[in-house]
Amino acid sequence: MRTFWTGLLIFWINFLSACSCDVLPYEPRCKQTMKWCCPSFGAYKVNTNAAIFSTQRRIGFGIIVRDHAGDAMGSSSQSLIACLSAQIAEAMAVLCGIIFTVETGLLPTVIESDSKSVVDLINSGKAPIANVGIVIRNVFELMNCYPVLVSFTGRSANCVAHGLAKLSISLPEDRFWLETCPARVEDLVMADRPV
């Protein structure tokens, strides 16, 4: 079942892919080791990540939603044929994460991304004129309607979402799981749980 937001997302992906195959310089990852932390009781934490498969000209998105105990409440592994910059791909991953939580009702939520430039753009409250601004404006629209915050986390605290993004290339279609996650990332989810 395609919703309005999913249709809009597909439209923007196709538009951005047609307009730009520019690649921004590599965004350095935080070297500091961070550990995933549970959200407060009654809230959800969503980690998002994008993976670029340049030889296949595909982008993968990984989304994991967890509750206050660190249990998986939902997850997704999606991919699309596109040629996007890393910044646009990461912004799209955040947008996909928000759409997923809205459609599943897993709110309020904090979205975490390991792309500091995307998180900074979102939290600045101003969408740039560049192509990534189109995605950021859509994030703003959803954040104005739903209880969603966006924050930065280091790559080491975003391993599950990264694993789901990489998994997308091996799947024949987009996959969505409720109250679980695929076996390939279960160990990562368990490792993140509080002791």
Can you tell me the mean pLDDT for 96-113? Answer: 97
Please tell me the pTM assigned to this model.
0.85
Architecture of domain 33-192: 2-Layer Sandwich (3.30)
Whether the pLDDT of residue 67 is over 50: the answer is: yes
Provide DSSP, the chain: ---HHHHHHHHHHHHHHHH----PPP-PPP-S-----PPPTT-EEEEEEEEEETTTTEEEEEEEEE-TT--EEEEEEEEEE----HHHHHHHHHHHHHHHHHHHT--SEEEEES-HHHHHHHHHT---SSTHHHHHHHHHHHHHHS-EEEEE--GGG-HHHHHHHHHGGGSSS-EEEES---HHHHHHHHHHS--
Can you tell me the mean pLDDT for 95-120? Answer: 97
**Model pLDDT for residues 15-57, shown as the tens digit of each residue:** 555 444 443 333 334 344 789 999 999 999 999 999 999 999 9
Sheet hosting strand 109-113, strand order edge to edge: 148-152, 109-113, 44-53, 58-66, 72-81, 175-178
For the chain, give every domain's residue range.
Answer: 33-192
Whether the pLDDT of residue 176 is over 50: the answer is: yes
